[in-house]
Amino acid sequence: MKKKLVVLTGAGISAESGIKTFRDADGLWEGHDVMEVASPEGWHKNKELVLDFYNQRRRQLHQVKPNRGHVTLAELETDFEVHIITQNVDNLHQQAGSSNVLHLHGELFKVRSTKNHNYILDWKTDLNLGDVDENGNQLRPHIVWFGEAVPALDEAIEIAQTADYFAVIGTSLQVYPAAGLLHYAKPNVPVFYIDPKPASIYDLSNPLEVIPMNATDGVPFLRQKLLNL
């Protein structure tokens, strides 16, 4: 039986592939106020702006490639049962070859009906006003916006509770409920936190090792460490 490695990834690992994050500049995301492009209020106020914003993100995703952090996580499946819980909406983990990826905040290459949350389509091109579901309802990005529920959270908690090792990579641990997932690991499970600017982690009873590196260096370092345990 392979040991189970549960990994929570955030914007930092994608940033190393060239995807910008809104945390980089005072709540601005590619020059936009986050609430204008990533909230139900922003959507109702200006659908065209929101659609254009995600169309640009979707186009960018066709241009970027997984980095060594993504690839090493995929390679870890040789020795471990790896489950990735990601806050990222890109598909770089899948591109790198990871087979168990749960997206907490949705996926850029999917869209859904504004009326039926279960009507989800794969979508790799621009999404425009007038693109509708089978009942004529406008389609929207399949993204969990600020103020919306996180449908995958219960599954993520269940996965976290089964970890033999838990790793947190490239996240400031500021966005909840995702940031609280490491607290669901069993008390004796080692936690590894890889980030060049790691946040302080409070109230964690688990053995914790902070690795102040970026993902491209830190994940290979973690792999060697885990193989030596």
> Does 29 score more than 70 pLDDT?
no
d(CA 158, CA 161): 5
Question: Rounded to the nearest 5°, which phi and psi values hold at 160?
Answer: -60, -35
Give tens-digit pLDDT for 181-208.
999 999 999 999 999 999 998 889 999 9
Strands (E), the chain: 4-9, 28-29, 32-33, 81-86, 101-103, 106-113, 120-122, 139-143, 165-169, 191-194, 208-211
Buried b (16+ CB within 10 A) or exposed e, 62-79: eeeebbbbbbbbbbbbee
The pLDDT value recorded for residue 174 is 80
pTM: 0.94
d(CA 11, CA 78): 25
Nearest to 58 by CA among 158, 114, 125: 125
Q: Which residues are known catalytic residues?
A: 105
The pLDDT > 70 percentage for the chain reads 96
- What torsion do the CA atoms of 68, 143, 55, 115 make, to the nearest 10 degrees? 150
> Does 218 score more than 80 pLDDT?
yes
